[in-house]
Amino acid sequence: MLKQYRQMRKKLPKPVQTWLTKAPYTFSVLPRVAQDPPKAQRTFPGSARGALLFSADFELAWAYRYSKTCNDPLGMAQRTRDNFPALLKLFETYDIPVTWATVGHLFLRSCNRVDHDWMRRIPHFDDHWRFTSGDWFDHDPGTDWKRDPHWYAPDLLEAIFASPVDHEIGCHSFSHMDFSDRNCPPEVADDEIKACVETAREWGIELKSMVFPGGTYGNVEILKKHGFTNYRRKSQCVLHYPYIDEMGLVVSPSKGLGDNEFGWSHDYMIKNLCSHIDKAIKTRTCVHFWFHPDIDSWFLATIMPSLLRYAASRRESGDLWIATMADCADYMLKKD
Ligand SMILES: [Zn+2]
Ligand SMILES: [Zn+2]
């Protein structure tokens, strides 16, 4: 039904299309709010009535290897590297923490291809990505971060640690793996997470938060086994009080940033995103914004500063709690 409506909308004149994409917000149909649990139980630390999380899928070239839509993994990785200083500076200006969901291979300073031979391989599949021949690690250069900075990122991790903001390092699998139960056998997921946990430990990091690659979802019991407390997941309702799943992990639904598929003006885009924060406060829910660090430069330069400034001002007035995914999960697990 929704798909048919979207197809129909595309045939209308552009100004009508734009108006139609704004109307659900004007009439407060969107962003949708999850009704569970009852409002009185939706509490946050201190006087805050709403919460805001930011997570970034930090992956460099790994994300685009088997993509059906992007044929320039190195170009996308370079965009992340180009954006990185500005991104860190921006979040520092407003003292807003980010959960950097990091591909485990990026922790490495160097590797040999054979280093990953112990990891069991995902069978070939054709789904969200097309991996129908060769070995999963065929793209791995097996060199070091200076020679191949699009496959390793110890320097960027050090830049995150050097920031005075209390950022979190989360997990985005070791090699940007499809984590769905359909495509990924549990032993493959287990090896991916084991590799992440061990590599992160060498940096003194304990991983608690998972962002599944490519919008996939599954193998949650493996996360539980390795001590994770929470993960991000898509939902029909963008505004959601974080909930605890049947495995005892905290789930926070999210909204992606960076697209302007409806051709909105910059002013309207800022107003719309800030209104997500207002509505989260009003409904005692959480808004979890996520983005790719290779985000379009117009979004980084034009939208993000206004959004962060507004978020910081709502925090200043005591209405909004801004947290990392792990801090949010800690609060949810301890509060009952
Ligand atoms: Zn490697
Ligand atoms: Zn990703």
Q: Which domain holds residue 17?
A: 13-335
Measured in degrees and rounded to the nearest 5, phi and psi for residue 170 equal -110, -170
Instruction: Determine the distance separating the centroid of ligand 1 and the alpha carbon of 326, expressed in angstroms.
Output: 27
pLDDT value of position 329: 98
Is residue 119 one of the residues assigned to a domain? Answer: yes
What does 66-119 look like in DSSP terms, one character per residue? T-SS---HHHHHHHHHHHHHHHHHHHHHTT---EEEE-GGGG-SB--GGGGTTS
C-alpha–C-alpha distance, residues 261 and 4, integer Å: 17
Cβ of 142: how many Cβ atoms within 10 Å? 14
Span 253-269, pLDDT tens digits: 999 998 888 889 999 99
Is residue 47 one of the residues assigned to a domain? Answer: yes
Ligand whose nearest atom lies closest to the CA of 212: 2
Instruction: Determine the distance separating the centroid of ligand 2 and the alpha carbon of 233, expressed in angstroms.
Output: 13
Is residue 129 one of the residues assigned to a domain? Answer: yes
Instruction: Determine the distance separating the centroid of ligand 2 and the alpha carbon of 177, expressed in angstroms.
Output: 9
Is residue 326 one of the residues assigned to a domain? Answer: yes
Q: pTM score, two decimals?
A: 0.96
Instruction: Determine the distance separating the centroid of ligand 2 and the alpha carbon of 259, expressed in angstroms.
Output: 16
Question: What CATH code is carried by the domain that includes residue 45?
Answer: 3.20.20.370
- Give the alpha-carbon dihedral of 276, 70, 151, 205, to 10 degrees: 20
Is residue 3 one of the residues assigned to a domain? Answer: no
Is residue 6 one of the residues assigned to a domain? Answer: no
Instruction: Determine the distance separating the centroid of ligand 1 and the alpha carbon of 32, expressed in angstroms.
Output: 42
C-alpha–C-alpha distance, residues 251 and 233, integer Å: 7
pLDDT value of position 118: 98
- CB-based contact 243:36 (threshold 8 Å): yes
Instruction: Determine the distance separating the centroid of ligand 2 and the alpha carbon of 104, expressed in angstroms.
Output: 12
CA 137 to chain centre: 23
Structurally, how many domains does the chain consist of? 1
CA nearest to 308, candidates 3, 111, 93, 18: 93
- Cross-strand partners of 209: 230
Instruction: Determine the distance separating the centroid of ligand 1 and the alpha carbon of 106, expressed in angstroms.
Output: 9
Instruction: Determine the distance separating the centroid of ligand 2 and the alpha carbon of 48, expressed in angstroms.
Output: 31
pLDDT value of position 262: 86
**At 232, is the pLDDT very low, low, confident or very high (cuts 50, 70, 90)?**
very high
Is residue 7 one of the residues assigned to a domain? Answer: no
Instruction: Determine the distance separating the centroid of ligand 1 and the alpha carbon of 289, expressed in angstroms.
Output: 30
Is residue 2 one of the residues assigned to a domain? Answer: no
Ligand whose nearest atom lies closest to the CA of 55: 2
Instruction: Determine the distance separating the centroid of ligand 1 and the alpha carbon of 279, expressed in angstroms.
Output: 44
Work out the mean pLDDT of the chain and round it to a whole number.
Answer: 95
pLDDT value of position 336: 66
- Cross-strand partners of 86: none
